[in-house]
Amino acid sequence: MSASEIAHRHFAAAVAEAESASEGTDSLCRALLGLVVSKYLENRAVADVQSELRFVADNCDPDTDFSFLRT
C-alpha cells in the first residue's frame, strides 16, 4: 500500500468521524494541517516547510493548467 493510499484511507475515516461528531470538516482540516506542519518541522527547516506550503497553496486551483505538468 502506498503512502497516498494510507493517507486517503485515514483522511476519509477522520472526515467520517468528524461528521458523525457534528464537527465541521474545516475544523478537521485545520487541525490535520497543523499536525502535518508540526511533523514536517521535526525534520525540515522552517523555510523548507514554508516553501512546501506555498507550492501547495499556489497550485491548489483544480481549473488551472500548471506549467510543471506541460510537456
What are 21-54's pLDDT values in tens digits?
A: 999 999 999 999 999 999 999 999 999 999 999 9
Q: According to the model, what pLDDT value does residue 69 have?
A: 58
Res 15 pLDDT > 70: yes
User: How far is the first Cα of the chain from the last one, in angstroms, to the nearest whole number?
Assistant: 29
Q: According to the model, what pLDDT value does residue 20 have?
A: 96
Res 71 pLDDT > 70: no
Dmax over CA atoms of the chain, in Å, equals 45
Q: According to the model, what pLDDT value does residue 14 have?
A: 97
What is the dihedral sign for C-alpha 39, 12, 66, 60? negative
Cα(70)–Cα(18) distance, rounded to whole angstroms? 38
For the chain, the average pLDDT equals: 91
